[in-house]
Amino acid sequence: MSTLTIEDLHVGVNTDTGLKPILNGINLVINTNETHAIMGPNGSGKSTLAYALAGHPKYEVTSGSVTLDGEDVLEMSVDERAKAGLFLAMQYPVEVPGVTVTNFLRSAKTAIDGEAPKLRNWTKDLKQAMENLRVDPAFASRNVNEGFSGGEKKRHEILQLEMLKPKFAVLDETDSGLDVDALRIVSEGVNRVKDATDVGIMLITHYTRILNYIKPDHVHVIIEGKVAEEGGPELAERLENEGYDRFFQKA
């Protein structure tokens, strides 16, 4: 079993007018085989958490720690984080001009494993994963995220997830911009990875919609950079009915 531990994490974002504090002491423990939904209204700091875990240079960890099985994640470079088994799908994926989906996936897999995957199995698995996600075979020879629709970007992320088989996956607003069919296909992909591997998932979402397809074991609500409430799947149901208003009335 592996564990991703976030302790008293404080993160600020570098802006023109200096460092703006966003996260004010986040505590989270995610084990393999667990799915944690991170919920919260717009601007509460969910993506900031994802960026901090990804090592985005704009986001500065001012105190606290992130460890993977005791190893300091914050000390790791971005590719060391990937090698350690962290997979991060960002809310706004970047374009990689001149690099095709096929080459990108194979290079990423090679970098993470320290050796190239056996070509025959790799090609077969990739073909299967693409079929599962209903992506056109021509997709493989397109440049990463260049001109991708919102839905194609999300499918490409799940394709990466299926092929790279990480220990922990952080999925930021994977449901944003998806119609109901695409949401189902993408969710099925996540569930396939959950069934086939021991992946631990941090599923960041503003809406409860995706949680009808991907069942969380734990739900954490972030309000103004802090975990305001935690519970099981029933908490997501309550938020579905009531929204986030009550957190602000209390404050």
Ligand X SMILES: Nc1ncnc2c1ncn2[C@@H]1O[C@H](COP(=O)(O)OP(=O)(O)O)[C@@H](O)[C@H]1O
Q: Cβ closer to ligand X: 44 or 208?
A: 44
Q: Who's near 201: CB < 8 A, 6+ residues apart?
A: 30, 34, 35, 36, 168, 169, 171, 190, 194, 214
Residue span binding Mg ion (CB under 5 A) among the ranges 46-54, 140-148, 149-157, 175-183: 46-54
Positions in 54-93 near Mg ion (CB under 5 A): 91
Contacting positions for ligand X (CB under 6 A)? 13, 15, 20, 22, 40, 42-48, 58
Residue 171 neighbours by CB under 8 Å, 6+ apart: 89, 157, 161, 190, 201, 202, 203, 204
48 binds, among ligand X, Mg ion, none (CB under 5 to 8 A by kind): ligand X
Size of the site for Mg ion (CB under 5 A): 3
Nearest distance in Å: CB 100, ligand X: 30
Looking at the Cβ atoms of 49 and 159, the one nearer to ligand X is 49
CB of 208 to ligand X, least distance (A): 15
- The percent of the chain in helix, strand and coil, each rounded to the nearest 5, is 40, 30, 30
Strand partners, 240: none
Among 47, 174, 205, 208, binds Mg ion (CB under 5 A): 47
- Cα of 164 vs its chain's centroid, Å: 13
Q: Are 106 and 116 in contact (CB under 8 A)?
A: yes
Closer by beta carbon to ligand X, 48 or else 160 = 48
Binding positions for Mg ion, rule: CB under 5 A: 46-47, 91
